[in-house]
Amino acid sequence: MAVILAPVARIYGASMKAWQLEQLSLSGLVQRDLPMPQPKGREVVVRIRATSVNPRDVGLAIGAYGPQALPLVPLADGAGEVVAIGPEVTRVAVGARVIGTFVHGWISGPPRRELAATVLGGPRPGTLAEFAVFEDAGVVVIPEALTFDEAATLPIAGATAWQALFGDAPVRPGQTVVVQGTGGVAMFAIQLAAAAGARVIALSSSDDKLAIAGRHGAVELVNYTTTPAWDERVRALTAGDGADLVVDTSGELRRSVAATRPGGQVSVVGLLAGARTEIEIVPLLVNHIRLQGIQTGNRTHLEQLVAALVANAIHPVIDRAYDFDAAPRAFAAIAERERYVGKLVIRGA
């Protein structure tokens, strides 16, 4: 059978390096040579310069999200430059610096169940490869103010923090925002809330991490190991009222609800404490507290986030970057809960 190679293959070769998940365990992550992707229709081929790892990626790899169609190229976050475009592409040109959206088909509006089929890094092939295929409607142009490493942290963690802060009840200047932890979503939430004029209270089990949070906009620092009743501390810091918004990265919720003012909101963005929790319903009812579950944002949210970062000269917090061949170490760092602040990045091959 005759094979016609498109320009991308003629320039870069007929194969590429990629990591594949071949069984649901961290040991199932294997580096392979895969065929060079070729764009069709409205597709673009992007040379991946940087990716970042999220707890979701690790959970998927170890089977926490249920069965997956394997083999699968993992990771949803990815930044690079467009090297080839399909014949129907109109939004970007070859040479454009872009990031792909996590829920690739979610352009605007509320989420819809059918969009789950468009998620990068499972079920769609992800970005832990030399090259990735995106739909042109599912990319956002990277401004020159952001590096590839920085841009690669935005599609999940950055967009999730943006939605948590500026979704249904946007944070306003002078309000109080409590942020749990110092991981990727948390650090974005601290930086963005501070830039919006909010008073940020950061929570962590580490004084060293809290010091970093303080350098990025948190004005009150609470160690929840030495102050386990941190909800009481939040109320004391707010004259007994509670916070306008709590960004909850643990999913434990009980203290988050107790730390929230009447009419306030708890944005649930993580489940570090596990996938199940118990809370008292009465405080929710009596205080009219909203619980908002958030996984990520759509393309419009990501575009708004990028514009806000540039306008406020905010740079994502990156703890460290791994070489492409060391990608499994980045997965292990999250799985084993190693100490890090902000994001972990994997550079392109």
Element (H, E) at 268: strand 260-268
> What does the domain layout of the chain look like in residue ranges?
7-153+316-347, 161-293
Alpha carbons 191 and 157: distance in angstroms, whole number? 12
If you average pLDDT over every residue of the chain, what do you get?
A: 93
Do 247 and 165 contact (CB within 8 A), yes or no? yes
pLDDT value for 9: 64
Domain 7-153+316-347: give its CATH architecture: Alpha-Beta Complex (3.90)
Predicted TM-score (pTM) of this structure: 0.93
CATH superfamily of 161-293: NAD(P)-binding Rossmann-like Domain (3.40.50.720)
53-62 pLDDT, tens digit per residue, is: 999 999 999 9
115-140 pLDDT, tens digit per residue, is: 999 999 999 999 999 999 999 999 99
- Strand, coil or helix: 147: coil
Alpha carbons 159 and 296: distance in angstroms, whole number? 5
Do 153 and 316 contact (CB within 8 A), yes or no? yes
Range 41-63 burial, b when 16+ CB lie within 10 A, else e = ebbbbbbbbbbbbbbbbbebbee
pLDDT value for 307: 98
For residue 217, give the nearest of 205, 202, 230, 237 by alpha carbon: 202
Does residue 228 surpass a pLDDT of 90? yes
pLDDT value for 8: 72
265-295 pLDDT, tens digit per residue, is: 999 998 665 567 677 787 778 888 999 889 8
Q: What is the DSSP letter of 267?
A: E
Beta carbons within 8 Å of 288's beta carbon, 6+ residues apart: 262, 263
pLDDT band for 2, please (50, 70, 90 cuts). very low
- Strand, coil or helix: 290: strand
18-32 pLDDT, tens digit per residue, is: 999 999 999 999 999
